[in-house]
Amino acid sequence: MAGKSERIVKMNFGNKKIIIMGLGSYKDGSGISAALFFAKKGANLLITDLKTKKELASQIKRLESFFLARTGLARIEGSKERLLTRTKYVLGRHRMQDFREADYIFKNPSVPKNSPYLKIAKKNKIPIINDWTIFFEERPQNLVIGVTGTKGKSTTATLIYQLLKNARKDATLCGNIGQSPLSILNKIKKPRGIEKINSIKNHRSDEFYTIGNFGKNKSLRDEGTIVVAELSSWLLHEFKDIKQSPRIAVITNLMPDHLDKYKNIKEYYKDKENIFRFQNKNDYLILNENDKNLRKIARKSKSRIVWYDGAHQNAAIAVAKLLKIPKSVAERAIKTFKGLSGRLEFIRGKNGVKYYNDTTATTPDATIYSLKSLSKYKGKIILISGGMDKNLDYKRLATEIPKYCKALILFKGTASEKIIKELLKLSKSDFNILNRVSDCSSMKKAVETAKKIASKDDIILLSPASTSFNMFKNEFDRGEQFNRFVKRLK
């Protein structure tokens, strides 16, 4: 990791009172992984979540199994179960007093940074941490390749990971893909061969090897596990407190997003910039040369900048070159890479109609990109879109929809309302698209409606350009439902 040579004071969690704000629903996500990590450290935990006990049943069951294997059952506040462990729950709400009386607050990435409860913690000078601030403390010498961007970070991070595995490197993939680094911490091997250096916890990884000579430093008997990290703006927000950035940072692009959570676009970009803010002259920043916003922020970098041409394959190749991975290995990894689910993913063809799942397109720009990627089907696309607005501008998307789409199906929500409003502003020549707009209250209805409209050689594309928390658990639930109903079509 890159950052100041003086590390923060080592965090000690034994017998500390720790509030986990947001248990979360992902199997190996931040909240549940932190709970298990702190429990093993002997901390006194209070887990608080706005979701109810019923909504978090599977996560609670997993924790209880862990506690049972050790000392007994955990107690849900208000239940008749006896407290036999150091863990308590406050579910369906948060309590202000809990954020005044703790040693640490662990913040799930989904918790808004402007939460009034976090403001209470800050006022009482209680440290706010996440899984990556802990990881940097536990594994300071491991090489981290961080990947962020508004769109394409999951695909890029996964391809880099696949490339490293093809090169027979010890590597792992975690972060914003639903895998907290804490869930696999015991599998992340530390570099070996550096034991002779005193006070090892006070040194950065670049004091033992340089990236350009990675794999060639004979003083390292084992370079340890390379960590490929997909980093969202929420995860990067806390990096400013620990003053750490990955040794190799990749940014795919920067576009407007999450403006329902940020005051403005500058604040959103500022969090993204933490991926390189604390790098030094020996570190690397890999940037997409086709993104004008990245060209602007590049001026702020203290590290070595490597530009790549657009596609995620080229970002992965740039990493491969830095790590001296043979070109043939990189090309083979790219050739065999199958892509990720929910990213313009072809699901099936039925009666001459092709179905594509692009559920991870949660911004207007992302949906525009997908429409242009299917440009050879211009005028034959039935777009399933809309949902809840993130305070984004839908004007450009509205102008593109009539160019590419023969019909538009919208989920109910504030984003859909904005799309309709922008479509109404178009000239009469584009106005006929409104004659083919339907609104749907479920994925089943959306798929069935699209099927009725479709003709041979048409494309049915799920690309929401928004979130859908009013109808689905998350974008992955939305995509899974689309796949399920598409596969049931007869």
* pLDDT digits (tens), the chain, 490 positions: 555 433 445 678 999 999 999 999 888 999 999 999 998 888 999 999 999 999 999 999 888 887 766 654 444 444 434 334 578 999 999 999 999 999 999 999 989 889 999 999 999 999 999 999 999 999 988 999 999 999 999 999 999 999 999 999 999 999 999 899 999 999 999 887 544 433 333 334 444 444 555 545 444 346 899 999 999 999 999 899 889 999 999 999 999 999 998 999 999 999 999 999 999 999 999 999 999 999 999 999 999 999 999 889 999 999 999 999 999 999 999 999 988 999 999 999 999 999 999 999 999 999 999 999 999 999 999 999 999 999 999 999 999 999 999 999 999 999 999 999 999 888 665 657 777 788 899 999 999 999 999 999 999 999 999 998 889 988 999 999 999 999 999 8
pLDDT of residue 71: 53
- Determine the Cα–Cα distance for residues 318 and 308; give it in Å rounded to an integer: 7
pLDDT of residue 170: 95
Determine if residue 148 is labeled as part of a ligand binding site. no
DSSP annotation of 191 reads: P
State the CB neighbour count (10 A cutoff) for residue 421. Answer: 12
Determine if residue 22 is labeled as part of a ligand binding site. no
Contact 385, 464 (CB under 8 A): yes
Task: Tell me phi and psi for residue 342, to 5 degrees.
Answer: 80, 10
Q: Which single residue is written with the structure tokens 């608080």?
A: 48
Query: β-strands 345-350, 353-357: how paired?
Result: antiparallel
The arrangement of strands across the sheet holding 44-49 comes to 75-76, 87-91, 44-49, 17-21, 104-107, 128-129
- Determine the Cα–Cα distance for residues 321 and 196; give it in Å rounded to an integer: 30
Determine if residue 155 is labeled as part of a ligand binding site. yes
Nearest alpha-carbon partner for 259 in 461, 119, 467 = 467
- Determine the Cα–Cα distance for residues 51 and 92; give it in Å rounded to an integer: 5
pLDDT of residue 188: 95
pTM above threshold 0.95:
no
Buried b (16+ CB within 10 A) or exposed e, 386-413: bbbbbebebeebbebbbebbbbbbbbbb
Determine if residue 151 is labeled as part of a ligand binding site. yes
Query: β-strands 353-357, 226-230: how paired?
Result: unpaired
- Determine the Cα–Cα distance for residues 420 and 297; give it in Å rounded to an integer: 34
Nearest alpha-carbon partner for 153 in 330, 291, 11, 297 = 291
Nearest alpha-carbon partner for 146 in 235, 217, 262, 212 = 235
Contact 253, 291 (CB under 8 A): yes
- Determine the Cα–Cα distance for residues 264 and 267; give it in Å rounded to an integer: 6
Determine if residue 153 is labeled as part of a ligand binding site. yes
Full set of structural domains in the chain with CATH: 12-129 (3.40.50.720), 134-336 (3.40.1190.10), 345-487 (3.90.190.20)
Handedness of CA 159, 164, 168, 170 (dihedral sign): negative
Retrieve residue 67's tokens: 């506690």
Q: Which single residue is written with the structure tokens 């593109």?
A: 400
DSSP annotation of 376 reads: G
